Structure formats: structure tokens, C-alpha cells
Amino acid sequence: MGPPRPPTPLGTLSAASACRQAVGGPRSYQTAALTAALREDIKAAASKKQTGVSMKHLLDFGTQPLERQMLLSSRFLHAEIPIRLAHRLMDLNHLPPELSEEPHVRRVKGWYAESFADFRSFPPIKDNVDVIKFTAMLKNAFRRHNNVVPAIAKGVEVYKRGLKERRESTEERESEIQHFLDTFFLSRIAIRFLAGHHISMFDPPRASHIGLVHTACSPYQVASDAVAEARAICFREYGNAPQVTMLGNSDLTMAYVPSHLHHMVFELVKNSLRAVQDRYSDSDAEPPAIQVVVAEGLEDVTIKVSDMGGGIPRSGLHRIWTYLYTTAKSPLPDVDIDTSNMPAVLAGYGCGLPLSRLYARYFGGDLQIISMEGYGTDAYLHLARLGNDEEPLTESIRTP
């Protein structure tokens, strides 16, 4: 177990232990207040500015980073992640009370508070031994937050349902919630990428990989793998799946995070497959193939996903970027965030497109959807080449 850590400002208990004791155990964070000292610490950290990191800086580590580099990385994360967690905790606390105190949202606040306490109770990082211990702590925090997206989605879904039952106006609340979710989920993407990138540096070296970044990532191959997975799911649900045609330069490579790219293309192709399959489900005609095109430009790489699934009405096009909007039956009412097999990435929960756009924008890219009602939809996924641009950290929302 190792020697005990020195006392912290919360007393002889570590901050995390004090947090657990204050709120009555690991599954009770949503039911009780944090210690006054921890609340003040979170408030002070939230007043500090978040520090963005350029992707080029991360790539400069090399495939086998030196101990000095990992020491600097650990020290940066040790100081920076609590600030980001504190910003998000303040955002959660400034939501409308009915949403902020919703049990699933309170559970998320508990996870964030415990992780914040873990970081605060960890002593200054002085050498490589401390780096190893810090990375183990970081892994635990990383796992703790696996179910944040479905928990927040469930909380928002319950809150929206309550507004409808009370017949309250939702237009103003919708805008505020949309802003909050964009900020919250973008921050989550950033924190998980920085943490995952650091953790992966301790994995056995992989050819052409620097942490989570594949320096010779093939957009064509990643897209092909995402297509295969999406079609397999379509087969499982419908017993059939439209064909998908791949076009473009299969030899093109670029520095990118394959898991992010796979998630984005999977979401787009999944939506197209369902649209086409639904439109032709009662027809004897063969469903038209979906087309995926990978194109290289001077500034970025673009992946286009085109379908003839009937398109989206122009009046409703803006709704596809609204969280929890889905034309499929939502599985959220059946969500149990305490189950160990809860997927970290939502598929069909009405979060896929807005989350995919955030993934693209995190690295300086974008996602655009153009629809022709009565015909089909074209999705353009723009991938920026990783460079000097810093993370697009948005400031926390605040209500008066």
C-alpha cells in the first residue's frame, strides 16, 4: 500500500477520503454536501484560467519520451486538471436548480469532486517514482468518469420531461442547456485526451504512435473500419444493411487520433444507414449505396458521407445539433449508470452528432450537414492537420 501521505489542508485524511466521509461513501456523493474546505478549494481553482495545450507540443514528446518530459507532463496535469474539473463543477452548480440537483447530475458532481480531491491530496511531483504513482491515480480518475456522458444525458432527459409535464416554457432553458453541454462535453474531451495521452506514454511503444496520436493515421482505413462496424450493427438491428462505397486516396496519411476519427465516421455512417434502410424498408428496390469520400486539401482532409435516405426538413435541420434529439427510440429511460458495461460513447441517444462536431472542433476541424429534403443528406467532416493551434477551451457559462 505504500507509506501514508502527509496531512493535507483537510486534516490527517486525504482530500479524497474527506470527500468520501463527508458525503457518506462512494455511491452517496449526490446526497450530501462536500466539506467546507473542499468547497472553497474548488471555488478558488475555478477562478483560475485554464491553460490550453497545442497538439504540436504533445507530438514533440516523440515515440519514447524522456523521463524529464514525463515529469513535466505530470506536473502540468497535476496543476491543470483540477482547474478544469473545478470549472465544470461550478458550471454544474450554476445550472437551473431542478437540473443541478437531479440525481444523475449530482452523481456526476460527486465524480468530479472526488477526482478533484484526489489531485489536491497528491503531493508535489519530484521524481520518476512520483510520476508512476501520479499516473496510477490518473488512471483511476479516468475510469471513474467513464459514464459521465450517459449520466448527464439521462439527467437532462429527466429535466426536460419535467418541464413538459409542468408545461413550462423551454425555449430559453434549451439555449442555456445547449451552451452548457457544448462547454461541458468539450472540456471532457480535452481532459480525457490529455489524461489518456499521458497514460498511453507508459504503454509499450507502437510504430508511428506518440501517445494517442497516430502520426501516420490513414483516414481511408479508419473510415473503412468504422463503416464495417456500422454496417454490422445495421445488420443486427434490421437483418440487412445498404452497401457503402469508399472513394478517395487510400495511401493518404496524417497525424490524428484514430479513436476520435473512428467515432465521428461511425456516427455519420450509422445515421445514413438507418435513414436509407428506413426509407426502403417497404420497397422491393435495392437500397442505394451510401458513398464515403476521403479528399485531401491544402489545409485539411475532408471526409464526405452521402446518402439518399430522404434528407431532413430544412425547418428541422438545426435540431440535429440539439442534445437528446433523435428520430430513433431513445434508450435513455432504461439507462443504469451503475452498470459496468455502460458504453462511454452514446450511439442513438441523441448526442452523437453534436459530440462528433465537438471532437472535430477540438482539433481545429468541423462537421457540417447539408440536407436535400426528399433526396438525401451530405455530411462533411473536416479534419485539421495537427499543429500549433491550442485547444479550443471555452469559458464557463455563468448565470446571474
Provide the annotated active-site residues: 263, 267, 270-271
Q: Name, in order, each residue with C-beta under 8 angstroms of 5's C-beta and a sequence gap of 6 or more.
A: 14, 121, 122, 123
Determine the Cα–Cα distance for residues 202 and 214; give it in Å rounded to an integer: 16
Q: Which residues contact 355 (CB under 8 A, 6 or more apart)?
A: 149, 185, 267, 345, 346
- Cell numbers for 141, please give them: 480518475
Angle between helices 36-46 and 67-93 (to 10 degrees): 110
Q: Which residues contact 192 (CB under 8 A, 6 or more apart)?
A: 142, 145
Taking alpha carbons only, the member of 264, 272, 279, 269 closest to residue 366 is 264
Angle separating helix axes 128-144 and 171-200, nearest 10 degrees = 140
Q: Are 52 and 186 in contact (CB under 8 A)?
A: no
